Structure formats: structure tokens, C-alpha cells
Amino acid sequence: MTNLTVGVLALQGAFVEHLTLLRQAADDWLRQQQHEPSTATATTTTAPGSSPPGAFPSSHASPHTDADRWNADADADAHISIRKPNTDEESTTTTTTNLTHISHFTFLEIRTPPELARCDALILPGGESTSISLIAARTGLLEPLREFVKVARKPVWGTCAGLILLAESANETKATGQELIGGLDVRVQRNYFGRQVESFEAELQLPFLHDSHPFHSVFIRAPVVEKVLSPTTTSGSVPSASDDDGTAPVPPTHMQCTKPQVEILGRLPGRAKSIRDKTTTAEDLGEDGDIIAVRQGNVFGTAFHPELTGDGRIHRWWLGEVVKAKMEEPNASPAR
């Protein structure tokens, strides 16, 4: 049996929404596995008053806190269960299948270093990046987060504020500066599109999803990737555009390793340039648009909020990438 634990940093922001879509993604992933054998069948039973696996909770449903567990035995009958903390209420899905890879999912809210240490992968949700950074520093999480991303190099996804925290450099930070986690060799600009009232929604084409259907995205005081830095450039050597810019600290030499190039996975054509001078668009300048999704090795970042739309496609894609990373670990073995 191969277990996989995914955490969502729960210091501030939309962590509950991420957990909901992760549960949905895990359910979809396991259902996809069940269809590989031609004889696979499935039955679902749900306890009274609870939502079926993967479903969005109703507006009056209690949000999940602390930990949500998905268990699947690797035998012919796989069993997935979700237990709400502090209750005996349980939803159950039974499948006849032969799971050959991940057979047990656990989703956790992360607030302490011991909780982080349990994780194979992590999501940094949107919120206010300065507040998240300050709380992480006060709770002793900042350095463990840096080690998780840069030394252990476990899969990490940051949305909006999470993207800012994962950048090696950021501008438009508070006058006192902002501590970053780092991991992405990019420079981001906070609040690139303006204030809260200038938040907007847009339809994005995201080729990495291998789906021609546009992804409806939500941008709330969103950043953009202003510049892709060289993987060989350490954060300490990145020049700052102003005194209040933030940079992530450089790991000790013995912890540094060769990093892959930054991949640009998504752009928003035209909008920011037209906002800036009201006439010129990114297309007019011969550009493809503002960078709003990037990946570098184990680190993935989006400037928008996929968790606020109810569309679980990015969560499913990312969970699949986490599964791949887990199975590629030297000590990983197929489920028995």
C-alpha cells in the first residue's frame, strides 16, 4: 500500500475551498483508476446528512477542519472513507478494482511544523501574503516551509498569495519588507491589476490541462510574474527595484542543487497592458500576455484562484503530478 498525504496551509485564506476540491480530485482520480480494469464496478453509500465523496458541501454544511482522510485498500475491494472530525458521520464508496499506485489519500490542514512533516505535498492558498508570512514566522513554520520546498523539494502549489510567497523575488511589498519562502525563480509584482474593486474574472486557455474548454478564473488583487529569473541566479543576487522589495533567503551551499528551467503554463492576453495605459494591449506590443501560471520542477504557481470556481480540473491535474512524484521516489513501491 502506498500512502499520500497532502496538506493545505491553514493560517489564512481559502484553505477550506482547496480541501473541498482536493477531495473531489481524489475521488475522480480513484474513479479513473477503477475504470482501467474492464470489470471494474462501483457502488456508493452516503451517511444521512453528509455530502457524497467529491461533492461540494451545501451552503449550510459544516466546513472540514483539522484533517480529512480518504482511505483505499489495495485489494480487490477498495474502500474510501471520509470522516468529519469530532463526529461519527462517515461517507463510504466501495469499488471493485485493482489499484496499482496510490491507495490511500490523506488531506490535512497545516498549522504547525509537525503537521507539515507528515506531508508529501502542500498547497499554499490565497489570502494576504504578508499576513501569511508573519503568522508562519511566529508559529515557527517559515523555515520548515523553506526546507520543504527547496531542500526536500516536495510538490508545492501556491495560488495568488501562495505564488507570491513561492517567488524568489517580489516587489510592491510592505514598507517593512516581506519574508518569502522562495522556490520559483521568478519575480512577481503584487496587486498588479489594482485594488480590490478592480478584481475580475476571465476565461483562460490552459494547454497543460489538455482540455480545450476554457478555465473560468478569478483574479482578486492578483499578482503576475513580472520576470523569469535564471535558475543559476540565487535570490541574494537578484537586484531589487526598490528598498521595500522582498527576496527569499539563499539556502546554504550544501543544500543547493541544480534547478530546472521555469515553465510558463498560462498567460492572460492583453488585459494588464490595456489597464496600464488604457490604449496599448499586450498583443500590440507583440507579447503573448501576462504570465499567470508557472512551474519549476516541484513548484507550481497560479496568480488566480482555481479553488473559488468549483472547477476541479487544475486540482485533478496537480494531484496527478503529485502521484507521479510520489511514485518516482527511490523508496516508492507499487501497492500490494
pLDDT tens digit sequence for 6-36: 999 999 888 999 999 999 999 888 887 776 5
Q: Per-residue pLDDT tens for 89-129?
A: 433 333 323 334 566 789 999 999 999 999 999 999 998 89
**If DSSP codes are grouped into helix, strand and coil, which group holds residue 256?**
coil
| Per annotation, catalytic residue among 18, 64, 305, 315 | 305
User: Is pLDDT of 184 > 60?
Assistant: yes
Query: 31-46: string of b/e by CB count within 10 Å (b at 16+)?
Result: bebbeeeeeeeeeeeb
Structural domains of the chain ordered from first start: 2-43+62-327 (3.40.50.880)
Is 307 noted as a catalytic residue in this protein?
yes
Q: Contact at 8 Å (CB) between 19 and 7?
A: no
pLDDT, residue 250, reads 52
- Asked whether the beta carbons of 268 and 287 are under 8 A apart, the reply is no
305 is catalytic: yes
Q: Which of 70-79, 104-113, 164-173, 223-232 has the highest mean pLDDT?
A: 104-113
Q: Are 174 and 130 in contact (CB under 8 A)?
A: yes
For residue 128, what is its C-alpha cell? Answer: 494576504
Predicted pLDDT of residue 244:
46
SS3 108: strand
Choosing from 17, 160, 226, 315, the catalytic residue is: 160
Indicate the range of 91-100, 150-159, 174-183 predicted with least confidence: 91-100
Q: What is the pLDDT of residue 191?
A: 85
* Residue 92 cell numbers, joined: 463510504
Contact, 209 vs 314, CB < 8 A? yes
pLDDT of residue 158: 97
pLDDT value of position 320:
92
